[in-house]
Structure 1
């Protein structure tokens, strides 16, 4: 039995997946955990898939999470959640953003955005569906959707004992600290 926990964050370029992973890693390191993080950008600047893997525990030897090994999967976009569902361990949890970003083929009319993705995810995993885009817009900054999802992740992992507000302060631009702290608390409540 290992004390290492595995978190996989997936989304589309520009959604702030890597920033959320940096906040997570920063807070975990400050709390005394050994942390390894790996990121895959792909064609992220052109709206492609982005994934980050964060592993933490007493001693972590590798940053890589294999298929079926993620304790928690955080999907910043519906289709990415479905794409990475196989990485979740059978008893794992998924926090999925009820948000769609059409890919280039969908935008060009070559195909349609798949329907019933959320229902498919719920039928295969312990899922928390968050309308992070709506929450972020209500806070006045749609770009803080990633920190709303981060707050939901903290709640799903039971990591509320860590000083996440300081980790947020350490990782976001000074002018966005307040809205990001509000986004974190909104994510906890969601």
Structure 2
């Protein structure tokens, strides 16, 4: 069994934490795992891409273009940027919320969410698109967007371990003072794609 997951977002969204939770959950069930992160020049709101590869075989930590099974997109434009990583039939779970880059704020470039959404719908076979940031805010903070996305992923029967196992790893990794908020975000993500 092999599963390649790309997580695309911007700095401050918890991209790296989400990849570490997925990887640790896989290791705990005895699967080999390799991970990689590409972090933008700005810590906050710079592009961040994490790659998690789990399962047997001889492979590097970097997922070649056209090979990813799953794309978790924490920010709309970064999701579009990562589409080249997907294989045919891959699943995309994307946050419809946007974070405008500084170049847009300064008037040097433009950002058109409706065009990005249309592109995703046209270029992907299996798309789950919803406002994960809004759900994270409902749980208590936008910073829990990553947990909303993990919750959504846990419903789709793609992971080589159960949703309960993923949730238990998450509970262990998250500091106690933030645990309840993140568990709520996880549950809201499950509900967003039809899970209980």
Settle same-fold status: TM greater than 0.5: yes
Superposition TM-score, scaled by structure 1 size = 0.92
Give the 5 Å matches for 1:151-162.
151-159=151-159, 161-162=162-163
User: Unpaired runs of 5+ in structure 1?
Assistant: none
Partners of 1:61 and 1:69 in 2: CA distance: 12
User: Is it true that 1:118 corresponds to 2:117 in the alignment?
Assistant: yes
Give the 5 Å matches for 1:83-102.
83-102=81-100
Partners of 1:184 and 1:40 in 2: CA distance: 25
How far the C-alpha of 1:62 sits from its partner, in A, is 1.8
How far the C-alpha of 1:80 sits from its partner, in A, is 0.4
Q: Which runs of 4+ in 1 moved over 4 A?
A: none
How far the C-alpha of 1:115 sits from its partner, in A, is 3.8
Query: Which secondary structure state, in structure 2, belongs to the residue aligned with residue 47 of structure 1?
Result: coil
C-alpha RMSD of matched pairs (Å) = 1.5
**Cross-structure match for 1:66:** 64
**Cross-structure match for 1:143:** 143
Partners of 1:62 and 1:170 in 2: CA distance: 28
Select the residue among 163, 169, 172 that pairs with 2:171.
Answer: 169
Post-superposition Cα deviations, 1:106-156, rounded to whole Å, max 9, x if no partner, equal 010112212421121011102100211111111222211110011112223
Query: Which secondary structure state, in structure 2, belongs to the residue aligned with residue 84 of structure 1?
Result: helix
Partners of 1:66 and 1:157 in 2: CA distance: 23
How far the C-alpha of 1:99 sits from its partner, in A, is 0.9
Partners of 1:35 and 1:115 in 2: CA distance: 34
**Cross-structure match for 2:189:** 187
Contact 2:98 2:113 survives alignment (8 Å): no
Query: Which secondary structure state, in structure 1, belongs to the residue aligned with residue 150 of structure 2?
Result: helix
Q: What is the count of residue pairs matched by the alignment? A: 188
Contact 2:12 2:143 survives alignment (8 Å): no
Contact 2:76 2:94 survives alignment (8 Å): yes
**Cross-structure match for 1:107:** 105
Post-superposition Cα deviations, 1:80-126, rounded to whole Å, max 9, x if no partner, equal 01111111111101111011111111010112212421121011102
